[in-house]
């Protein structure tokens, strides 16, 4: 065993450039190599690909990787080849001749890995190829696509088990996914017909990510984004919006302020999308402003921040998107901008979504109920005052036995780095309750605020509301404040807000509390220590940041960009941001020093080592004095 362990680590080192496995990886690799099926459930960025790449190098035959992400295949294959692993893909973007060429190479034994979309497995040509070829492993990426309970069901995934059974020898099957509830997990195991698989679920926490939640009006959101992005030039970021229109508006707003940005959404034609994606991946522009169509096909490891301009439909969706920040392990910042009307919009969308025509009324209701629950967890995330890392961890329930003391501050989320100021809003709450009563639980928050503030508006007077007991009771309080307290009352069950197109405010299940003489309500507000923004980048949550020469990092980055252009690769594939920082820290000038940099294997050493070492040598002798440090 010791020996094979050494072999495995040597492969990890040589082809991936890493000294050690991350949590979960070693167990999965060992199981695969011993011939056992596996299911790896790991969050985005945890390093699923290493789990099948390392065995693919070691196993005698070919590894087939099934992935739904055709747009990613070229990049993945380029990156593998750049690391010295012979890989190729067959998919519909190639003509028949090109496809045959790839299969010929595979037949000749000159490929280690072959990427295909699930539909390919059903074609006679591919079946014929596979049945007479030595296939050691089939790795199924995004395995949750097999389940109708997940969000991305792909019926072609159901054909994988069939494909496996037509092979002369059954290969080991390794399934991977980032999102799997218990139910989806059972589907994956059952429908792929995994044979007594080893199931590994690794922690869902991402300690290098700083989580921030900011309540903001639509206008404040734009201002915040423009300021934050403007303060982080040269860093890659993604802004998620919920509609195509918004992505275009936000991108235009950023461009107007001189920030390089592209919009990306499913309404663009394939060519435009491809171009937008390229410009982002090659670091030509800093920011991609996208709907959730973007991301399934993106694998950029140096995304430093993800901003949500709207509320996602579930914490799963949020975490998957936000998790695209900091995949290289360097600090990343995930900011959720939200307001009450986002919640109303989301609820409305839920009620009106009718993509389940084929389901029976009962199943439809079940799906709707489950969607409501998913949304509630997202809303809970916006409102919670506890540590956000902890909230996420508990939600995904990673079974971490080292549950820390509830009071320890994580230092990596807004709730643990800001102080709260609480104000007593009992009087306002009681007045709102009275007004809801006076209006017979038939109107929305806006009308309630009008009455309480003693509005002289025509329709208020015409309806005779100026003679209601609660009229003018809060004439000194702003309408925004009244709404804010009202929404908090709703979240505590004191009020209930209907989810129709014109939400009506009524009493909630806890409403009687407001007439109890001991009733007391406080509202807490975060006092931000910094102008929201710079905390994560400068707090150095990631391991290798800290005292490196930023001027040198800049130079390394520029060199990376030109080498990437020469090799027609995205820059982060040449080396990750983390590797560049480690390089700036170690300042290698010999081969063995260069190999000690995290993320450098032998192929990369041979390919890029000399140019980087020359730069480092020159920098050391000539440029020590002009350390820029730039924007930080």
What is the binding site for ligand ADP (CB under 6 A)?
A: 18, 21-22, 25, 42, 44-50, 299, 301, 327-328, 576
Which C-beta is closer to ligand ADP: that of 66 or that of 225? 66
Which C-beta is closer to ligand ADP: that of 312 or that of 542? 542
Supply the minimum distance, in Å, between the C-beta of residue 205 and ligand ADP.
14
Supply the minimum distance, in Å, between the C-beta of residue 569 and ligand ADP.
14
Supply the minimum distance, in Å, between the C-beta of residue 42 and ligand ADP.
5
Supply the minimum distance, in Å, between the C-beta of residue 48 and ligand ADP.
3
**Backbone conformation region of residue 174, classed left if phi is above 0, alpha if psi is from -120 to 50, else beta:** beta
Which C-beta is closer to ligand ADP: that of 299 or that of 313? 299
Distances (CA, A) of 578 to 82, 206, 210, 556, 585: 18, 16, 17, 12, 11
Decide: 116 and 89 in contact? Cβ < 8 Å.
Answer: yes
Q: Residues, the chain, total?
A: 632
Which C-beta is closer to ligand ADP: that of 237 or that of 508? 237
Q: How far apart are the first and last CA of the chain?
A: 48
Looking up tokens 């002009």 gives 626
Supply the minimum distance, in Å, between the C-beta of residue 289 and ligand ADP.
22
- Give the long-range contacts of residues 28-33, CB within 8 A, separation 24 or more: 28/174, 28/198, 28/200, 29/54, 29/55, 31/198, 32/59, 32/137, 32/172, 32/174, 33/4, 33/8, 33/58, 33/59
Which C-beta is closer to ligand ADP: that of 146 or that of 445? 146
Which C-beta is closer to ligand ADP: that of 21 or that of 228? 21
Which C-beta is closer to ligand ADP: that of 67 or that of 415? 67
Which C-beta is closer to ligand ADP: that of 202 or that of 310? 202
Supply the minimum distance, in Å, between the C-beta of residue 327 and ligand ADP.
4
In order, the DSSP letters of 567-592 are: HT--HHHHS-HHHHHHHHHH---SHH
Decide: 431 and 470 in contact? Cβ < 8 Å.
Answer: yes
- Side-chain-side CA neighbours of 101 within 13 Å: the count stands at 8
Which C-beta is closer to ligand ADP: that of 30 or that of 299? 299
Which C-beta is closer to ligand ADP: that of 103 or that of 209? 209
Supply the minimum distance, in Å, between the C-beta of residue 25 and ligand ADP.
6
Pairing of strands 505-507, 495-497: antiparallel
Q: 268 by DSSP, 3-state: which?
A: coil
Which C-beta is closer to ligand ADP: that of 46 or that of 164? 46
Which C-beta is closer to ligand ADP: that of 22 or that of 193? 22
Which C-beta is closer to ligand ADP: that of 18 or that of 305? 18
Supply the minimum distance, in Å, between the C-beta of residue 176 and ligand ADP.
7
Give me the residue whose beta carbon is nearest to ligand ADP. Answer: 47
Supply the minimum distance, in Å, between the C-beta of residue 278 and ligand ADP.
19
Pairing of strands 113-116, 87-90: parallel
Cα–Cα distance measured from residue 330 to residue 301, given in angstroms and rounded to the nearest whole number: 9
Q: How far is CA 242 from the centre of its chain?
A: 15
In order, the DSSP letters of 219-251 are: HHHHHHHHHHHHTSTT-EEEEE-SSHHHHHHHH
Supply the minimum distance, in Å, between the C-beta of residue 49 and ligand ADP.
3
Supply the minimum distance, in Å, between the C-beta of residue 582 and ligand ADP.
10
Which C-beta is closer to ligand ADP: that of 321 or that of 438? 321
Which C-beta is closer to ligand ADP: that of 69 or that of 477? 69
Q: 523 by DSSP, 3-state: which?
A: strand
Cα–Cα distance measured from residue 540 to residue 550, given in angstroms and rounded to the nearest whole number: 13
Cβ burial, residue 291 (10 Å; 0-12/13-18/19+):
buried
Closest alpha carbon to 468 in 430, 440, 497, 498: 440
Supply the minimum distance, in Å, between the C-beta of residue 215 and ligand ADP.
30
Decide: 341 and 219 in contact? Cβ < 8 Å.
Answer: no
Decide: 170 and 164 in contact? Cβ < 8 Å.
Answer: yes
What does DSSP assign to residue 500?
A: S
Cα–Cα distance measured from residue 95 to residue 304, given in angstroms and rounded to the nearest whole number: 37
Decide: 335 and 397 in contact? Cβ < 8 Å.
Answer: no
> In sequence order, what are the residues at sequence separation of 6 or more whose Cβ sits closer than 8 angstroms to the Cβ of residue 512?
none
Pairing of strands 38-41, 172-177: parallel
Distances (CA, A) of 34 to 56, 152, 167, 192, 499: 13, 31, 20, 19, 54
Sequence-ordered alpha helix ranges (H) in 519-576:
535-539, 550-567, 571-574
Cα–Cα distance measured from residue 451 to residue 460, given in angstroms and rounded to the nearest whole number: 7
Supply the minimum distance, in Å, between the C-beta of residue 543 and ligand ADP.
10
Q: How many CB atoms lie within 10 A of CB 40?
A: 30
Supply the minimum distance, in Å, between the C-beta of residue 226 and ligand ADP.
29
Supply the minimum distance, in Å, between the C-beta of residue 325 and ligand ADP.
12
């Amino acid at each position: 065993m010791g020996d094979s362990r050494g072999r495995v680590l040597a492969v990890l080192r040589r082809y991936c450039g890493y000294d050690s496995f991350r949590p979960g990886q070693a167990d999965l690799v060992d199981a695969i190599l011993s011939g056992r099926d596996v299911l790896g459930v790991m969050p985005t960025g945890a390093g699923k690909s290493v789990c099948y790449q390392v065995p693919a190098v070691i196993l005698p035959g070919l590894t087939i990787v099934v992935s739904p992400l055709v747009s990613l295949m070229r990049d993945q294959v380029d990156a593998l080849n750049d690391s010295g692993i012979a890989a190729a893909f067959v998919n519909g973007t190639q003509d028949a001749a090109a496809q045959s060429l790839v299969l010929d190479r595979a037949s000749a034994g000159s490929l280690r890995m072959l990427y295909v979309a699930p539909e390919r497995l059903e074609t006679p040509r591919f079946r014929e190829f596979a049945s007479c070829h030595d296939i050691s492993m089939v790795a199924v990426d995004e395995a949750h696509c097999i389940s109708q309970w997940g969000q991305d069901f792909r019926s072609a995934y159901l054909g994988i088990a069939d494909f496996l059974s037509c092979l002369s020898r059954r290969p080991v099957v390794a399934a991977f996914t980032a999102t799997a509830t218990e139910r989806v997990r059972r589907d994956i195991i059952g429908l792929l017909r995994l044979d007594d698989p080893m199931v590994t679920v690794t922690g869902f926490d991402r300690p290098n990510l700083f989580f921030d939640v900011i309540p903001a009006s639509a206008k404040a959101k734009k201002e915040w984004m423009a300021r934050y992005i403007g303060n982080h030039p040269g860093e890659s970021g993604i802004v998620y919006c919920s509609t195509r229109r918004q992505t275009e508006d936000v991108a235009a707003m950023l461009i107007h302020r001189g920030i390089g940005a592209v919009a990306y959404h499913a309404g663009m034609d394939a060519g435009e999308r491809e171009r937008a994606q390229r410009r982002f991946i090659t670091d030509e522009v800093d920011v991609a402003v996208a709907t959730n169509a973007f991301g399934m096909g993106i694998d950029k490891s140096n995304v430093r921040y993800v901003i949500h301009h709207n509320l996602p439909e579930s914490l799963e969706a949020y975490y998957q998107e936000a998790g695209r920040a900091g995949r290289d392990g360097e600090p990343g910042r995930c900011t959720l901008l939200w307001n009450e009307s986002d919640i109303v919009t989301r609820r409305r969308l839920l009620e009106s979504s009718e993509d389940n025509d084929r389901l029976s009324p009962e199943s439809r209701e079940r799906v709707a109920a489950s969607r409501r629950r998913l949304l509630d967890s997202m809303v809970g995330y916006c409102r919670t005052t506890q540590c956000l890392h902890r909230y996420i961890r508990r939600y995904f329930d990673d079974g971490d036995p080292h549950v820390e003391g509830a009071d320890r501050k994580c230092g990596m989320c807004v709730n643990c780095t800001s102080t709260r100021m609480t104000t007593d809003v009992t009087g306002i709450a009681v007045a709102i309750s009275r007004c809801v009563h006076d209006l017979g639980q038939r109107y929305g928050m806006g009308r309630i605020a009008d009455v309480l503030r003693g509005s002289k508006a025509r329709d208020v007077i015409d309806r005779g509301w100026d003679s209601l007991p609660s009229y003018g009771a809060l004439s000194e309080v702003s309408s925004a404040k009244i709404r804010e307290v009202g929404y908090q009352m709703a979240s505590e069950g004191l009020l209930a807000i209907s989810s129709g197109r014109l939400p009506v405010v009524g009493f909630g299940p806890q409403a009687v509390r407001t007439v109890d003489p001991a009733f007391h309500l406080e509202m807490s507000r975060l006092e931000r220590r910094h102008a929201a923004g710079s905390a994560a980048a400068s707090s150095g949550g990631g391991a290798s940041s800290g005292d490196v020469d930023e001027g040198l990092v800049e130079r390394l980055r520029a060199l990376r960009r030109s080498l990437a252009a020469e090799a027609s690769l995205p820059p982060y594939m040449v080396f990750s941001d983390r590797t560049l920082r480690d390089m700036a820290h170690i300042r290698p000038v010999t081969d063995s020093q260069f190999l000690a940099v995290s993320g450098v294997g032998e192929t990369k050493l041979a390919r890029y080592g000399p140019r980087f070492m020359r730069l480092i040598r020159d920098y050391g002798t000539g440029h020590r004095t002009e350390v820029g440090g730039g924007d930080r």
